[in-house]
Amino acid sequence: MAQQSELKLHVVMFPWFAFGHISPFVQLANKLSLQGVGISFFSAPGNVARIKSGLGLTPKAEIIPLPIPQVEGLRPGFDSTAEMTPAMAEVLKKALDLMQPQVKSILSQLKPHFVFFDFAQPWIPKLACELGIKALHFSVYSVISQAFCIAPVRTTGAKIPDVEDMMKPPKGFPSNSAITSIKRFQAENLMYLFKSFDGGPPVYVRAREGLTNCTAVVVKACREMEGPYIDYCATQFQKPFLLAGPLVPDPPKGVLEDKWANWLGQFPAKSVVFCNFGSETFLDEDQIKELAIGLELTGLPFFLVLNFPAELDSQSELTRTLPEGFMERVEGRGIVHTGWVRQALILAHDSVGCYLCHSGFSSVIEALVNDCQLALLPQKGDQFLNSKLVAGDMKAGFEINRRGEDGYFGKDDISEAIKSVMVDVEKEPGKTIRENHKKWKEFLLNGEMENKYAAELVAQLKTIA
Ligand SMILES: C[C@@H]1O[C@H](OP(=O)(O)OP(=O)(O)OC[C@H]2O[C@@H](n3ccc(=O)[nH]c3=O)[C@H](O)[C@@H]2O)[C@H](O)[C@H](O)[C@H]1O
């Protein structure tokens, strides 16, 4: 019997088919493979190319395409939520449930030690257990968001919280947290977690089932950032919470397209405001107008990326929603783009000094490891709590002022946030935010820290394999 420490682990990675989820699973696969762990990666065929390019450090990784069963309401060939409407994404969860037989058959052949699964596949623990495989719930969300949103104490006795309840932290929440409450519009948005679509289980039921039945929970987190929330969740879920570390992305490969590199290159270092809301977060017309004028008011150069729901024509939406005469007025110092951009390369560009974003967790980490000051404009779900963590607990970002009832922000709220972290940098809060950003950047770029977390995680996996 090989010593535990010599055991060559083999794990399967099985993320939800959304790039905000696939990315962290790819990053974890790269960190584990550097520790000698063998990787097999499950996803729908249309996602394989992007996963393959992300698994650069894991050339031996086996990517196994899982065709999505044809279900009414889904379009063949649309394999990630980035190409789907929210309604289609709900149908995709049901289609994933129908994949159990093919997943079971492949796992029975692969016989990995572990399968890392996501919130959407709560049936994995039972299916894996029947094959003698251990199931680990890998949460791509910040632990603060998991602690605040789905702690079991929130739904004792199958009682569903109402908006008032969701505005407050759950019972026993870390008392030193910067969160004393969240705004009404944010709590209303979080009620989505408890909503059933076409009779399917709500997100919180799927997540809770997976968290309850898994062998252990693996989180994209480190004690330094989220220690109190990790302890709170481990107590609440009565499960070991294993830390993968912050999963800092490897330096982006390749070069930025000339059109962006040349445009950015004409501005002084750290002067450009980059504004993007990730792969699946969209602003409405009024928000776009206030955001655009707010960027214009700063007088700083800016690169604004705006995307629109899959069912709309992005280019015509862009023309329709931008303010009258806006593009003419900002000619030469502002560009607006719709569609995918190489975000990690843009954030790493020497001219970019500020990132106004949706507070997506992967995106926030990417800004922290670059010299991009954070202006946070969370739009949904975990983003509200990520923003609280970074701007509240870590004080490494500026949370843009919002009206409590409906989340409204105005052009002045946008320009105030950007000026605080980019112009009035000798005054508070910009001064402290920039100092803390620098401190967290050094921490996150400490390769030893990342390796320590990865090595400790693998050692823990070997003890439970
Ligand atoms: C858990 C999920 O995380 C998400 O945010 P996150 O930033 O992690 O993911 P994306 O913004 O989609 O971005 C995911 C990855 O795609 C990259 N990217 C994105 C857009 C683009 O144009 N170009 C890029 O290179 C980006 O750099 C990041 O690495 C959301 O909060 C979602 O609500 C939440 O459920």
Q: Are 152 and 237 in contact (CB under 8 A)?
A: yes
Taking CA atoms only, the protein residue closest to ligand 1 atom 1 is: 20
Task: Give residues with Cβ within 8 angstroms of 128, minimum separation 6.
Answer: 107, 115, 134, 135
Mutate which of 21, 22, 23 for ligand 1? The one with the most ligand atoms within 8 Å of its CB, which is: 23
Q: How far is CA 298 from CA 295, 334, 359, in A?
A: 5, 11, 21
Secondary structure string (H, E, C) spanning 212-264: HHCCEEEECCCHHHHHHHHHHHHHHHCCCEEECCCCCCCCCCCCCCHHHHHHH
Spacing, Cα 4 to ligand 1 middle (Å): 37
Whole-angstrom Cα distance, residue 392 to residue 378? 14
Q: Does the annotation mark 231 as catalytic?
A: no
Q: Is 106 helix (H, G, I), strand (E, B) or coil?
A: helix
Provide φ and ψ at 381, rounded to 5°.
45, -130
Provide φ and ψ at 307, rounded to 5°.
-115, 165
Residue 429's CB is within 10 A of a number of other CB atoms, namely: 16
- Residue 249 CA: nearest ligand 1 atom is 29
Q: What lines the ligand 1 site, CB under 6 Å?
A: 19-21, 23, 140-141, 276, 278-280, 340-344, 358, 360-363, 366, 380-383
Angle subtended at Cα 402 by Cα 400 and Cα 408, rounded to the nearest 5 degrees: 125
Mutate which of 27, 141, 343, 379 for ligand 1? The one with the most ligand atoms within 8 Å of its CB, which is: 343
- pLDDT in the model for residue 287: 98
- Residue 362 CA: nearest ligand 1 atom is 8
For the sheet containing 62-65, what is the strand order? 62-65, 38-43, 10-14, 114-117, 134-139, 216-219, 241-243
Whole-angstrom Cα distance, residue 346 to residue 341? 8
Convert the pLDDT of each residue in 415-432 to its tens digit.
999 999 999 999 999 999
Bridge partners, 303 (sequence order): 274, 335
- pLDDT in the model for residue 85: 85
Spacing, Cα 363 to ligand 1 middle (Å): 6
Residues of the chain with pLDDT under 50: 1
- Residue 347 CA: nearest ligand 1 atom is 27
Q: Does the annotation mark 437 as catalytic?
A: no
Q: Are 245 and 271 in contact (CB under 8 A)?
A: no
Spacing, Cα 99 to ligand 1 middle (Å): 25
Convert the pLDDT of each residue in 141-183 to its tens digit.
999 999 999 999 998 877 899 999 999 999 999 999 999 999 9
Q: Which among 79, 118, 371, 413 is annotated as catalytic?
A: 118
Mutate which of 276, 363, 369, 376 for ligand 1? The one with the most ligand atoms within 8 Å of its CB, which is: 363
Q: How far is CA 244 from CA 22, 28, 211, 449, in A?
A: 15, 7, 16, 11
**Residue whose structure tokens are 């330096």:** 251
Spacing, Cα 279 to ligand 1 middle (Å): 5
Q: Which residue from 144, 193, 186, 148 is spatially nearest to 169, judged by alpha carbons? A: 148
Beta strands in 344-395 (DSSP E): 352-357, 373-376
Q: Which residue from 58, 84, 59 is spatially nearest to 71, judged by alpha carbons? A: 84
Q: Are 100 and 127 in contact (CB under 8 A)?
A: yes
Convert the pLDDT of each residue in 63-99 to its tens digit.
999 999 999 999 888 899 988 888 899 999 999 999 9
Tell me which DSSP letter residue 134 carries.
E
Q: Are 241 and 230 in contact (CB under 8 A)?
A: yes
Taking the C-alpha atoms of 147, 245, 120 and 280 in order, what is their torsion angle to the nearest 10 degrees? Answer: 90
Tell me which DSSP letter residue 416 carries.
H
Convert the pLDDT of each residue in 34-57 to its tens digit.
999 999 999 999 999 999 988 877
- pLDDT in the model for residue 199: 87
Taking the C-alpha atoms of 37, 348, 314 and 88 in order, what is their torsion angle to the nearest 10 degrees? Answer: 20
Residue type, 64: I
Taking CA atoms only, the protein residue closest to ligand 1 atom 25 is: 343
- pLDDT in the model for residue 2: 55
Spacing, Cα 427 to ligand 1 middle (Å): 31
Task: Give residues with Cβ within 8 angstroms of 134, minimum separation 6.
Answer: 113, 114, 115, 128, 215, 464, 465
